[in-house]
A and B are shown apart, each in its own frame.
Chain A
Amino acid sequence: MNSRQRVPRFSREPGVTLPRFRRIAGFVSFAFLFCVSPVFGQASATAATDSTSVPDVKCVIGVKDVKPNATGVITVQGDSVRFESGKKKGQIRVNQIQDIYLGNESRQDISGLGGTAMKAAIPYGGGRILSLFSHKVEVMTIEFIDDNGGYHGAIFVLPPGHATALKSLLVSKGARVTQHAEPPPPAEEKQ
């Protein structure tokens, strides 16, 4: 009879200790996971901030193949800025950008041909009261050159709070910008 007691490999019984190398291996693997997981986390965060898209953007003018005053989605992805309005698409490569300007404006809540006709139809000048309602917008102007060296300019009207982030993202991707005075905030917002 063998008097030597055999220690089970995976014992959950109290008082039974695992061999030393198993404890070290467990500690090393835990340390590895602890070190590696933030790296993956960082990578996914970068991927999340590497691209962005803003809906309800009006392209006033300047994007090839897109009609003036078209409304659509602007996307910064990879090395380009894309504007998509229905089936029409246009893009500007980041390395073509020469400068980016930001501005603030206000737009009428009721505008366009239908809105104007409606305002005119309200009796006793009631349409003028509707004209008092407006909302703030941000205007982003991108200057860029094409492959032949021709100068282009594109104007986008964005909902408030997006233009600065878009500009920062484009600058981080290598878009050129020159130092110029940022426009003052609208009169209503001055303190």
Chain B
Amino acid sequence: MKNRSILSIVACGAALLLAGQAGAQDKAAAAPTKLSASAIQIGRPEASPEIVIPEDFRVATYENVLLQLEKTKKFQTVYRIGDRRADDVKDLVILKLVPAKYTAGSQKQREVTTVKGATSIAFTVQFLDKSGKVLLEKQVEGKVRFYGENLNATYDFAKKVAKVVGESF
């Protein structure tokens, strides 16, 4: 009787161990392979007839993304769109920003009500190779909910893009 109970405990333990190992293997298989590139070129946020984003937001998004990607140190060089030096880089990755959502908020409303007036800006972030093949695509949103100027939403967005780069490269 005692031997049977010991045997059953050992069997259960072994089963759990095997199941755990199998799960870990699945997880490893599901984890995306990291991308690699020596340089990245940042594209200007595209203009969209449906989602009209003010020019200062588009420029602030572009410049903030550039600054944040330089800080990640994942690439040797971060090129601006139009930079002729990027043409010679073989393993160049191009970052494309397609507008997905824009909500113009109000700093005054935010600070007075705390529940209204949030500013948000969202883009579909695409990482392309030189041939135009999409390597990675994600929707990223930047927000200002409580305190701060409206343009801070672009800073929040850029920080999140840098996080995506940190995880994927």
- Which residues in A have some Cβ–Cβ distance to B below 8 Å? 60-62, 68, 101, 103, 105-108, 111, 116, 119, 128, 131-132, 134, 139, 141, 143, 145-146, 148-155, 183
Contact = CB atoms under 8 A, between A and B. Distances in A.
Nearest to A103: B56
Interface stretch (B24-32, B81-89, B93-101, B161-169): B81-89
Interface residues of B, number: 26
Given A107-B149, A116-B147, A141-B56, A128 B81 contact: no
Interface of B: 44, 54-56, 58-60, 62-64, 67, 79-85, 107-108, 111-112, 147, 149-151
A139 B60 CA distance: 12
Contacts of B149: 107, 111
Nearest to A68: B67
A107 B107 contact: yes
B60 A148 contact: no
Contacts of A139: 56
Query: Which of A106, A139, A149, A183 neighbours the largest number of chain B CB atoms within 10 Å of its CB?
Result: A149
Contacts of A62: 59, 63
Contacts, number: 74
B136 to A, nearest CB: 23
Given A108-B111, A132-B112, A134-B108, A150 B81 contact: yes
B108 A153 contact: no
B112 to A, nearest CB: 5
B82 A151 contact: yes
A105 B67 CA distance: 25
B60 A155 contact: yes
Given A62-B59, A106-B108, A150 B83 contact: yes
A7 to B, nearest CB: 79
28 contacts: A60-B56, A60-B60, A61-B63, A61-B67, A101-B55, A106-B107, A111-B149, A128-B111, A128-B112, A131-B112, A132-B108, A139-B56, A141-B55, A141-B56, A141-B59, A143-B59, A146-B80, A148-B84, A149-B83, A150-B81, A150-B82, A151-B82, A153-B58, A153-B59, A155-B60, A155-B63, A155-B151, A183-B54
Given A60-B151, A103-B54, A141-B56, A119 B111 contact: yes
A141 B45 CA distance: 15
B108 A148 contact: no
Shortest 6 CB-CB contacts between residues of A and residues of B:
A153-B59, A150-B80, A131-B111, A150-B83, A101-B55, A149-B82
B56 A101 contact: yes
Contacts of B107: 106-108, 134
